[in-house]
Amino acid sequence: MKILVGYDDAEVSWEALVVAIIHAKAFGGKIIIFTSLEEGPDSSQMDFVAAEKNLKRAQEHALANKVTCETELSESILQPGENIVQYAKKNNVDQIVVGIKRRSKVGKFLFGSNARYVILEAPCPVLTVT
């Protein structure tokens, strides 16, 4: 079982990673920790270095929990949600785990644009974590 985790080093992303580790252990799966950086004039080498560092920390946590894990850092003109879905389709991912931020009562019915895109367009089941 391939489990893709959308990861951006926010607290909710860490919680998504923890849940993905539990699923990988339960189903004998492997985790792909995926970070998407938007390519463009606003992107910097510092963003790339910070993302690599965050991915390494997440990978070390998964490996410490005895879960097979790889990382993927993607620079793309696509929005992160689109990039996650595209990667999942190309790599036959079995499940996607994403963190969603808590919102107001009205906002509970609406997800962020990236999470919403993943939920609606993913080629596999999506597990959301708050």
Answer with the residue of higher pLDDT: 66 or 130: 66
86-108 confidence digits (pLDDT tens): 999 999 999 999 998 766 555 55
One-character DSSP codes across 19-78:
HHHHHHHHHT-EEEEEEEEE-STT--HHHHHHHHHHHHHHHHHHHHTT--EEEEEEEESS
Asked if 76 and 83 touch (Cβ cutoff 8 Å), the reply is yes
Kindly list the structural domains of the chain, giving each domain's residue range(s) and its CATH number in brackets, ordered by start. Answer: 2-129 (3.40.50.620)
10-55 confidence digits (pLDDT tens): 999 999 999 999 999 999 999 999 999 988 777 777 888 999 999 9
pTM summary value: 0.90
Token look-up 């252990």 returns 25
Token look-up 């391939």 returns 2
Helix (H) or strand (E) run with residue 6 in it:
strand 2-6
47-85 confidence digits (pLDDT tens): 889 999 999 999 999 999 999 999 999 999 999 999 999
Alpha-carbon span 34 to 70, nearest angstrom: 9
Q: Is 103 helix (H, G, I), strand (E, B) or coil?
A: coil
